[in-house]
Structure 1
Amino acid sequence: MADLLQLLLAGASVGAVYALTALGFVAVYTVSQVVNLAQGEFAALAGLVAISAVGGGLPLPAVVVLAVGTVVIVAAVMQRLTIAPVKRMTTLLSIILTLGVSTTLKAAMLLIWGAEGRGLTPFGGHDLTVAGVSVQAQQLWILGVTAVVAVAVGWFYERTLAGKALRACAEQPTAARLVGISIARASLLSFVIAGLLGAVAGVLASPIYFSAWDSGLALGLKGFVAATLGGLTSVRGAIAGGLVLGVLESLVAGYVDSGLRDAVAFVVLIAVLVIRPGGVLRQRAAAGI
């Protein structure tokens, strides 16, 4: 039983990182139908910036602000330079454009930080042992911050004027234009949100899973699979998808073969696309966000 609980905890912590990444995909796709393949690079960039900032002697709060701010700016510039100029955006074109941005970011990170993976200093706290299960303080940070962010994102879309405007653009873009909502500004805001979510995921995960110039590739793909489980349009579905994917990976690695961990996401993706392309965990009432 202790082994099972240990695997579930490990899966939930990595699944929380997938969930944050998946929320970034959902934020962008619902507004502009753009599949942002650079989402994983947002996380990798945030982790590397945070590591450099810690090396420069900055305190943790300043490090987090700097890392998140840097990625948000990169996401906004990306939207203005590659997405906004396109008048007729298609999903295929968005994949090509964001893949180009992803490749550019990876090359820049390789040039600046080199090929070696690095880990951010763990956040404060003490590791625990509960009922034979080892609980790392960083895992609690990941789960706790993810829960807070998930609630904040839900509150933003449900309660704020800007969030309701994004929902309107996602559900009825023509009607949104008629009432004066700028789709271009909504798209920019969605990329800012995606950058923020990706940066939080990258900073939280770095102490355990390390950051490297190419670490965003796997994270981005798994975040996309998690978002796909929710139909790419559901906040709750993306969160649930990330947790389910993380737990499945952990169980397969623990009980079958650790070498099959990375294959789980792609098996799940194929199954979803074949059996239920609308998303397994998507709620019927979750039109748009």
Structure 2
Amino acid sequence: MSDFLQLVFSGLAQGAIYGLVALGFVAVFSVREIVNLVQGEYAALAGLTAISVVGTGLPLFVAAAVAVVVVVLVAVALERLTIAPIKRMTPLLSIILTLGVSTAVKAAMLLIWGPEALRLEPFPGSDFTIGGVSIRAQELWILGTAAVLGFLVVRFYEHTLQGKALRACAEQPTAARLVGISPRTATMVAFAIAGLVGATAGVVGAPIYLASWTSGLTLGLKGFVAATLGGLVSFRVAMLGGLMLGVLENLVAGYVASGYRDAVAFVVLLLVLLIRPQGLALKASGVRV
């Protein structure tokens, strides 16, 4: 029983990372119906940036803050350079465009940091054991950060006038313009939020799961799978989907074979596409994922 609980708890920590990345997909898609495949690279870039800043001698939390700010600025800059100039953006065009940007970002990280995976020093705290389950302090940081940030994002998008205005740009773009809501500004804000949650995932996850120029690909894929569970419009289902995916991966790795861990995401994605393409959220996005 303790082995099962250990796998579940570790899976929740891993799934919280996926959930944060998934929030970034939803944050952008729910505003402009753009599938942003650069989302996973935000996490990788933040982790590597934090490691470099710590290497200069700055405290860990200062380095984490610097990394998050840098990634948010990068996310906004990429949106201004690649998304904003396109007049008629479609989900398919956004996939092709952001895939190219993702490849360029990966190449830049490879040139700057090299091919080796790097580890960020862990956040403060002591590991302990409860009922035979080993709990690492960093996993508590991950779960706590994901809970707080997830709550704030949902609160902003669903319970504030500014957040509802952002979502109005996707649902009624013409009406949004008529009442003074700029879709261009809304898209920029959405990308900034996506950069924020992606960067946070990368920083809190780097002490355990490492950071490398390729880590964004895996995080992006699994975050996208979690986001599709909510039809790319539900923040709550996206976060829960990430947690579920992390637990399923750990259970498969623990009871079947570790080599099948990454196959879980593909199986879940295939089942969603075949059974309920609009996702598990009660509100459909109007676009098949």
Shorter-chain TM range is over 0.9
**DSSP-derived class of the 1:117 partner:** coil
The 4+ residue runs of structure 1 with deviation greater than 6 A are 285-288
- Give, in whole Å, the separation in 2 of the partners of 1:202 and 1:179: 37
TM-score (norm 2): 0.96
- Could you tell me which amino acid in structure 2 is paired with residue 241 of structure 1? G
Query: 1:169-184 counterparts in 2 under 5 A?
Result: 169-184=169-184
- Give, in whole Å, the separation in 2 of the partners of 1:180 and 1:287: 24
- Give, in whole Å, the separation in 1 of the partners of 2:111 and 2:58: 23
* 2:148 corresponds to: 148
* 1:249 corresponds to: 249
TM-aligned CA deviation for residue 158 of structure 1: 2.9
- Could you tell me which amino acid in structure 1 is paired with residue 235 of structure 2? V
State how many pairs are aligned: 287
* 1:277 corresponds to: 277
TM-score (norm 1): 0.96
- Could you tell me which amino acid in structure 2 is paired with residue 31 of structure 1? V
Residues 13-65 of structure 1, C-alpha deviations (whole Å, 9 max, x = no match): 00000000000000111111111111000000000000001111111221121
- Give, in whole Å, the separation in 1 of the partners of 2:234 and 2:22: 10
TM-aligned CA deviation for residue 286 of structure 1: 9.2
- Give, in whole Å, the separation in 1 of the partners of 2:277 and 2:58: 46
**DSSP-derived class of the 1:105 partner:** helix
**DSSP-derived class of the 1:211 partner:** coil
Residues 143-178 of structure 1, C-alpha deviations (whole Å, 9 max, x = no match): 001000011112212333321211222332222122
TM-aligned CA deviation for residue 97 of structure 1: 0.9
* 2:69 corresponds to: 69
Q: CA RMSD in A?
A: 1.5
Deviates more, 1:162-171 or 1:224-233: 162-171
* 1:167 corresponds to: 167
Is the contact between residue 40 and residue 221 of structure 1 (CA under 8 Å) also seen in structure 2?
yes
User: CA distance change for structure 1 residues 133 and 287 in 2, over 3 Å: closer, same or farther?
Assistant: farther
2:45 matched to 1:45? yes
* 1:237 corresponds to: 237
- Give, in whole Å, the separation in 2 of the partners of 1:286 and 1:94: 16
Is the contact between residue 54 and residue 63 of structure 2 (CA under 8 Å) also seen in structure 1?
yes
Unmatched 5+ stretches in structure 2: none
Deviates more, 1:83-92 or 1:161-170: 161-170
Unmatched 5+ stretches in structure 1: none
Is the contact between residue 11 and residue 248 of structure 1 (CA under 8 Å) also seen in structure 2?
yes
TM-aligned CA deviation for residue 285 of structure 1: 9.1
- Give, in whole Å, the separation in 2 of the partners of 1:3 and 1:286: 39
